[in-house]
């Protein structure tokens, strides 16, 4: 009876999230050949409060340079919380370079849902007192169109990235202080 109880208790703990935390899924492998950045913060640096829930929450400006591609896809994820903050796709890769001031992409770009169920950018807002969270911004180049409709969920977008021909990535961090 004791062994059965121990097995049942272990199964319940795992089912309720009491087991080990699953590591975040790694982004699809592709050569890191896209120059991708934000003038709002440096790679590895802190995201300014104005781009978070503690400020105006506006989307960052993004810049990129890449070789020709049929389509570019943006995927932004908080890897500490396994939370997708932003997806955008249908971005033309024909020009080889681009600019999205305050997240305003060129005409024809579609935005998907984030983990909050909203379309577009959801600003960083980790729990107060947490260690800094890491927000990974990745731009993928594809040699085919995704054919995704506006408002696709994050898993549908991620499913289209497996055969990316190139990518560029940078990371920002954000930590909210505990208010006393």
What distance in Å separates the CA atoms of residue 173 and residue 42, rounded to the nearest whole number?
10
pLDDT score at 17: 32
Looking from the CA of 59 toward its CB, the CA atoms found within 13 Å total 22
pLDDT score for 168: 96
Q: 30-174: what CATH class?
A: alpha beta
Q: What was the pLDDT predicted at 4?
A: 41
> pLDDT digit string (tens) for 77-88?
999 999 999 999
pLDDT at 86: 98
Q: What is the pLDDT of residue 179?
A: 61
What does the pLDDT read at residue 105? 94
Low-confidence spans in the chain with pLDDT less than 70: 1-27, 179-180
Each domain of the chain, given as residue ranges in start order, spans 30-174
Q: What is the pLDDT of residue 109?
A: 96
**Strand-strand pairing, 97-100 and 35-37:** unpaired
Backbone φ and ψ for 65, nearest 5 degrees, come out as -140, 130
Q: pLDDT, tens digit, for every residue of 15-39?
A: 333 334 444 455 677 888 999 999 9
pLDDT of residue 3: 44
Residue 6 is classified by DSSP as H
C-alpha–C-alpha distance, residues 121 and 123, integer Å? 6
Looking at the chain, the whole-number percentage of residues with pLDDT higher than 90 is 75
- The pLDDT score that the predictor gives to residue 8 is 35
């Amino acid at each position: 009876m004791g062994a059965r109880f121990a097995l049942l208790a272990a199964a319940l703990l795992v089912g309720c999230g009491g087991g080990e935390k699953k590591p975040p899924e790694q982004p699809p492998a592709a050569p890191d050949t896209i120059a991708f950045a934000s003038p709002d913060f440096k790679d590895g640096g802190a995201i300014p409060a104005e781009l978070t829930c503690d400020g105006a929450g506006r989307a960052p400006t993004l810049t990129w340079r890449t070789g020709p591609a049929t389509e570019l896809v943006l995927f932004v994820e908080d890897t500490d919380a396994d939370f997708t903050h932003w997806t955008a796709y249908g971005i033309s890769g024909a020009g080889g370079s681009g600019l999205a001031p305050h997240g305003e992409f060129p005409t024809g770009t579609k935005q998907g849902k984030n983990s909050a169920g909203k379309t577009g950018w959801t600003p960083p807002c980790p729990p107060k007192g947490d260690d800094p969270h890491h927000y990974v911004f990745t731009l993928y180049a594809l040699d085919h169109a995704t054919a995704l409709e506006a408002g696709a969920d994050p898993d549908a977008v991620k499913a289209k990235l497996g055969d990316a021909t190139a990518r560029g990535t940078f990371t920002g961090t954000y930590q909210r202080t505990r208010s006393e």
